[in-house]
Amino acid sequence: MSRWEPDAQGRFRAAAMELFLERGYGETTVADIAQRAGLTARTFFRHFADKREVLFHGADRLRQTMIGALHGAPANATPFEAVTAALDASSEFFRDNREFARRRSQVIAANADLHERELIKLAKLSEALAEGLRLRGVTESDARLAAEAGIAVFRVAFGHWVAVGEQRTFGEILHDSLGRLRALTSNR
Amino acid sequence: MSRWEPDAQGRFRAAAMELFLERGYGETTVADIAQRAGLTARTFFRHFADKREVLFHGADRLRQTMIGALHGAPANATPFEAVTAALDASSEFFRDNREFARRRSQVIAANADLHERELIKLAKLSEALAEGLRLRGVTESDARLAAEAGIAVFRVAFGHWVAVGEQRTFGEILHDSLGRLRALTSNR
């Protein structure tokens, strides 16, 4: 980087989110975002490939965080306990970002292309969890089922967490959802 | 339709699948498909909007079949029993199409765009199941969890069913996968 800008990335994120909510995602350009942030488009492209990346920038780091926790689970953990360790790590990851996550969810819900991108992100996360489980010696079938079930819990819990008025932490909601999944799938 | 062609749709499907596997999806045109089928491109477009629709043509009917079964489940069925009824209906739906499904899975696995489209199709199926459960009086959270868990089972079972050498029926594999999900999510 040729010039140092204090927290340029954070300023671009905040500016982009304001504009996406004010005007709509499709109606916001990188030039608009840079202007709102008081920075240049050139600086924007040092941090993000395009405006969509502002919304999906954290996906790789989230996946690494979750996969790291999966690998770090005790050797005798069941597949679903290992997935739960990954989910717990995601709750640490999101701890301080609830307001950003709320706004981001609103932007994504309003745009079909972004919604598809979000689905693909979660599918990749599921595939990465399944791969991590296979490396722990879990069978192909159990790895995929445990990973998909874990992502199902993640999605549902995340939806609650960003809902207006929800007070519980992401970790609390995750554990409630895990308990509900167990209750739902058990024989009555 | 101005001219009647015996099983034009089936001929287009068979011709398209042959070409997708021989040349690749990206390298196959509608003109190629029509030529192989011995029909015209004009007739093709009476049946399909584009070549991609050859692969995703059954999605609406599959969803209707599954949602119909969900609604038809006994009033006292648990949410997951209702989802299981929908899954059972899907196994009827696929009964006679294993070879087509196998080839289709190969084509989709070889193309990132088609893979994304498949993910979106399954996400819509999950949303439809969740909506059906809400109409049965299931809470928002349980509806989404049960639907997502059901789709997880569906995906894993489908992957087995189309695998080379797999002999079990889709229904048998579905029930094995449901049992595995239950075992995975239960406390040990």
Cβ distance B184 to A123 less than 8 Å, yes or no, reads no
Would you call B186 and A184 a contact, using CB atoms and an 8 Å cutoff? no
What tokens were used for A169? 């932490």
What pLDDT is recorded for position A1? 45
Residue with tokens 């999950």: B126
CB B156 within 8 A of CB A144: yes
Of the candidates A80, A119, A184, the beta carbon closest to that of B146 is on A184
What is the rounded average pLDDT of the residues B39-52?
95
Percent of chain A surpassing pLDDT 90: 81
Exposed/middle/buried for residue A167 (C-beta within 10 Å: 0-12, 13-18, 19+): exposed
Whether A156 sits inside 8 A of B145 (CB atoms) is yes
Q: State the first-to-last Cα distance of chain A, in angstroms, to the nearest integer.
A: 61
Single out the residue of B89, B97, B102 nearest to residue B171, CA to CA.
B89
Helix/strand number for chain B, H first, E second: 10, 0
Q: With contact defined as beta carbons under 8 Å apart, do B17 and B103 qualify?
A: yes
Q: Is A65 exposed, middle or buried (0-12, 13-18, 19+ CB in 10 A)?
A: middle
The tokens of A2 are what?
């040729």
Length of chain A: 188
Cross-chain Cβ contact B155/A146 below 8 Å? no
Contact: B78, A188; criterion CB under 8 Å: yes
ipTM score here? 0.83
- Residues of B whose CB is below 8 A from A156: 141, 144-145, 148
Report the alpha-carbon distance of residue B118 to residue A5 in Å, rounded. Answer: 42
Residues 122-181 of A with CB under 8 A from B: 123, 141-142, 144-146, 148-149, 151-153, 155-156, 159-160, 177, 180-181
pLDDT of residue B95: 83
**Are the CB atoms for A181 and A153 separated by under 8 Å?**
yes
Q: Which residues of chain B does A80 touch, with a Cβ-Cβ cutoff of 8 Å?
A: 184-185
Q: Which residue has the tokens 């045109």?
A: B29
What is the per-residue pLDDT across A61-71, written as a single tens digit (0 to 9) for each? 999 999 999 99
Express each pLDDT in A142-152 by its tens digit: 999 999 999 99
In this complex, do A155 and B177 lie within 8 Å of one another by their Cβ atoms?
Answer: no
Distance CA A94, CA B178 (A): 31
Does B93 score more than 90 pLDDT? no
Q: What are the tens digits of pLDDT across the range B17-42?
A: 999 999 999 999 999 999 999 999 99
- pLDDT surpassing 90 at residue B86: yes
Closest residue of chain A to B117, computed from CA coordinates: A116
Mean pLDDT across B61-72:
95
Of A149, A152, A184, the CB nearest to B80: A184
Q: What is the pLDDT of residues A7-48, one digit of tens each?
A: 999 999 999 999 999 999 999 999 999 999 999 999 999 999
In this complex, do B144 and A156 lie within 8 Å of one another by their Cβ atoms? yes
How much of chain A, in percent, has pLDDT values that exceed 70? 97
Interface of B with A in 102-121 (CB under 8 A): 116, 119-120
- Phi, psi (degrees; rounded to nearest 5) at A144: -70, -40
Query: Is the distance from CB of A125 to CB of A66 less than 8 angstroms?
Result: yes
The predicted pLDDT at position B2 comes to: 45
**Chain A residues touching B177 at Cβ < 8 A:** 141, 145
Distance from CA of B76 to the nearest CA of A (A): 12
How far does A90 lie from chain B, in Å, by closest CA? Answer: 18
Q: Could you tell me if B152 and A152 are in contact, meaning their C-beta atoms sit under 8 angstroms apart? A: yes
Residue A41 token pair: 């488009």
Residue A72: its pLDDT value, please? 96
Burial A23-55 (b: 16+ CB within 10 A, else e): eebeebebebbbebbebeeebbeebbeebeebb
Q: Does B31 touch chain A (CB under 8 A)?
A: no
Domains and their CATH numbers in chain A: 8-54 (1.10.10.60), 58-185 (1.10.357.10)
Report d(CA B87, CA B85) in Å as an integer.
5
pLDDT tens, A158-168? 999 999 889 99
- For A76-129, the pLDDT digits (tens) are 999 999 999 999 999 988 888 898 999 999 999 999 899 989 998 999 999 999
Mean pLDDT of chain B: 92
Average pLDDT in chain A: 92
Q: What is the pLDDT of residue B39?
A: 95
Per-residue confidence (pLDDT) for residue A96, from 0 to 100: 80
- Interatomic CA distance for residues B106 and B151, integer angstroms: 20
